[in-house]
Chains A and B, each alone.
Chain A
Amino acid sequence: MSDHDILLSVQNLSTHFFTQQGVAKAVQDVSFDIPAGHMMALVGESGCGKSVTSLSILRLIPNPPGEIVGGKIIFKGQNLLELSEHRMRAIRGNDIAMIFQEPMTSLNPVFTIGNQIVEVIKLHQGIKGQAAWDLAIEMLKKVGIADPVRRVEEYPHQLSGGMRQRAMIAMALSCSPSLLIADEPTTALDVTIQAQILELLKKLQSENRMSILLITHDLGVVAETAQTVVVMYASKVVEKADVQSLFGSPRHPYTQGLLRSLPRLGQRRKRLDVIGGSVPNPVAFPSGCKFHPRCPIGAKDPHCQACEPPLQEVQTGHAVACWYAEGYRR
């Protein structure tokens, strides 16, 4: 399968929230492609629009106040934004599945794990009765839950956090979707479980030839698992590259700042680097480049403060939205 076999193509997606304080432009002009069988990471700090992007793909933005105001989401050749709600429901959970950050709360507390998996199977596959239960048990076994025959009968509160996330993954994968959106799947878990879950996702991805859109703020997770990375800042894509070039030669000052603020093995420092300031309010973004108030160059350059840089390719497959992308050296 070639790299040009694009499964999902998000083109100029814009999602706005019409609030009492004003229009919050949560996602602006975001574009990226996910090839089939690929794992792509969407990175950024809290509130930069990464979750809204993922919810927009599934058209799960609460409306009102949210609305997808522009762009296209091409999945397997059809624009998801033009589908009827009925057709969209057939895609959700079946072709595109999603797992969430909080395994504690994203399972329904009054139903057993088995019931919840079987419901998805019944809904999309039309498999009923014992066959559906067998499939549910098989899925639980696949995601590495010990004693699945007993676990299907259990309620979410009887499982640990890691097991619940595994159960969520089992549920999401029960209809073998071609795209899995994982919205911070490891954030609520402790570090050893995080590693196991990521391992599991990678294993299942290669087994099922599935694409994964991994949403995270953890660059460690990205380096370990993803093939390409999209960095978002203040509702826009600021850098897009494959993992090697992003970690090897980050071009955007924001990405550089993020990487500098990571602790490194063998490095003895009293304090980690930080990016000064905080994420701008989406109702009132700064003029020009949105990162300029926090940027070491942009804070001094009037050009950065006045004009917003476009996302430009600096190398094949490496695009950056910064006026200094070409000439800037670390």
Chain B
Amino acid sequence: MTEITTQNELMQPRGYWSDAIRRLRKRKMAMLCFWIVAAYAVLAGFIWVGDILVIHFKWEIPIVQWNEHVGPNYQKPLAHYEFIPEMKTESQKGWSLLGTDFMGQSTLRKALYGAKTAMMVAFCASIISILIGVPLGALAGYYRGWVDDAIVWFYTTLGTIPYILLLMAFAVVLRGAHIGPWELRGSVAVYLAIGLTSWVGLCRLIRGEIIKRKESEYVLAARAMGCSDFRILFFHLLPNVFHIILINFSLRFVSFIHAEVILSFLGLGETDKPSWGAMIDAARTELARDVWWEMAAATVAIFIISLALNIFSDALRDCLDPKLRMD
């Protein structure tokens, strides 16, 4: 009896996801990158909540209060300094890990806040891009005919416009635009602009996958069981391409962070909150004065998240794509 139970335990069914996670866990590098990405995400979440507490509830959370003047301007990293804070007369000693900018604000706090801006924008833009790209691609691939023609025409037209120009145009138009009673402010305009312009690749990918899979026997079988088109498309076919959406999401995330940086650098991004792009933009003038740390902080922050996300996405694809499965 005991033998049988052990055998049954050994033969416990392993689902697709638990199997993928198990294989992902075996990769040390991928796991390291996952924890780095997770750390950025947690940091972004913490700063997001902290920001609300500071602004609306007047809490004191120094690390979130990026606009506080912590010292004299252009202090080098790891420097001790004495300065007179605003509204006060006696001097105060200070120490800064990553130096200060031209306003005497902490570069470290700005870089951390930049992580929140970038992650929020990339996340929201990804969701918007998936919400547009996936249904359109699925409909085009499933119905073909004039639906396909219309959608393909639409995204091809959009795709012919150079991406940066399109992104800039959307960002300019959306910034300060009014949708009903709401005015699009700050990062909302940024992630709308990125999301609305970047779904073409995903749409094309999903369309191709649906075309490939809709001829499969399980679709015919589902139809023979009396499933409607809607049901087949969204409950039978889309779950089969879900891993592609997930992989695409993680790959896109990096490019969306970059897009946010580019927009901020060009002055089209979030202007009243720190972001990595704005920091690099500020550093253009600072570099002439030998102030390198603001540039360095933003660049290193971007570099680490980009590298970690890329390695992690790669590993994720290897583990999720059944055709690439290696054990």
Contact = CB atoms under 8 A, between A and B. Distances in A.
Interface of A: 58, 60, 89-94, 97-98, 100-102, 105-112, 119-120, 123-124, 150, 153-155, 158, 168, 171-172
A91 B227 CA distance: 11
Contacts of A123: 225-227
Nearest to A117: B225
A61 to B, nearest CB: 11
Contacts of A112: 13, 15
Contacts of A105: 216-218
B236 interface: yes
Contact of B16 (A60, A91, A124, A155): A155
B226 A109 contact: no
Given A120-B226, A158-B13, 14 more contacts: A89-B227, A92-B225, A93-B224, A100-B224, A106-B221, A108-B236, A108-B239, A109-B218, A110-B16, A119-B225, A120-B225, A154-B13, A155-B16, A168-B221
B5 interface: no
Nearest to A95: B226
Given A105-B217, A109-B240, A171 B16 contact: no
Contact of B13 (A100, A101, A111, A153): A153
Contact of B223 (A92, A124, A153, A154): A92
A308 to B, nearest CB: 32
A89 B228 contact: yes
A49 B157 CA distance: 43
Nearest to A94: B226
Nearest to B322: A109
Given A110-B239, A155-B13, A91 B226 contact: yes
Contacts of A107: 218, 221
Given A105-B216, A150-B8, A100 B225 contact: no
A102 B226 contact: no
Contacts of B225: 92-93, 97, 119-120, 123, 171-172
Interface string B214-240: 001110111111111000000110011
A108 B216 CA distance: 9
Contacts of B228: 89
A24 B242 CA distance: 38
A171 to B, nearest CB: 7
Given A150-B8, A153-B13, A155-B16, A108 B224 contact: no
Given A109-B240, A155-B16, A97 B224 contact: yes
B135 to A, nearest CB: 19
Contacts of A158: 13
28 contacts: A89-B226, A91-B226, A92-B226, A93-B224, A93-B226, A93-B227, A94-B226, A97-B225, A98-B224, A100-B217, A100-B224, A105-B216, A106-B217, A106-B218, A106-B221, A107-B218, A109-B218, A109-B240, A110-B240, A119-B225, A119-B227, A119-B235, A123-B225, A123-B227, A124-B226, A154-B13, A155-B16, A158-B13
